[in-house]
Amino acid sequence: MDPVLTLAIVVGATLVLQTLAFVGLLRAVRILTLRLENISTNLQKDAAGLVEKAGSLMVTLQRTAEKLHDLQDHVTATVAVVHKRAVELDAFVAEATDAARLQIIRVQETLDTASRKIEDTVELVQNGVLAPVSEVHALVRGLRVGLNYFIRHRRSRLSGNDAFDDEMFI
C-alpha cells in the first residue's frame, strides 16, 4: 500500500474520530447548558422568592420600627409626666413640711404663753388673794387666841383656876 493512501486513511479516520469527539463534546455542552439553564432558572426563582421575602421582611421591620418610634414617643411623654409629677410632689411635701413646722412652732409658742400666763395667774392668786387671806386668817387666829386668853383669864380669876389655865396654855 501506498504510504500516501495510508496517510490519507489515517488522516480521514482521525478526522472522523475528531468529528465524533466534537459531536460528543457538543452534546455534552448542550446537556451541560440545559442543566445550567435549569439551575439558573431555579436560582432565579429562589432568588426572586428570597427577594420577595426580604421585601416583606423589610416592610414588617419598617412597620415595627415605626411602632417602636411611636412607643418611644409615648414612653418619653410618660417619663416627662412622671418627672413633672415627682417634682410637684416633692414641692408639695416640702411645702407641707414647712407648714407643719410652722404649726408646731405656733403650738409650742401657744403652750409656752399659756404656761407663763398660768404661772403668772397662780402667782397673782397667791400674792393677791391667798397671801392676804392667810394674813387675815392669821390675824383672826391671833385675835381668837387673844380673846380666848382674855376670856379665860377673866374666868379663871373668877373661878381661881389660874394655875390650871397656865399649865394648859403651855
pLDDT tens, residue order, the chain (170 aa):
688 889 899 999 999 999 999 999 999 999 999 999 999 999 999 999 899 999 999 999 999 988 898 899 999 999 999 999 999 999 999 999 999 999 999 999 999 999 999 998 888 887 877 778 888 888 889 888 888 888 877 666 655 555 555 555 55
> What is residue 38's predicted lDDT score, i.e. its pLDDT?
94
Helices 131-159 and 162-169: angle between axes, nearest 10 degrees? 160
pTM of the complete model: 0.41
The set of cell numbers assigned to 128 is 393677791
> What is residue 146's predicted lDDT score, i.e. its pLDDT?
85
For residues 129 and 120, the answer to whether their CB atoms sit within 8 Å is no
> What is residue 161's predicted lDDT score, i.e. its pLDDT?
54
The set of cell numbers assigned to 137 is 386668817
- Output the 3-class SS for 12-68: HHHHHHHHHHHHHHHHHHHHHHHHHHHHHHHHHHHHHHHHHHHHHHHHHHHHHHHHH
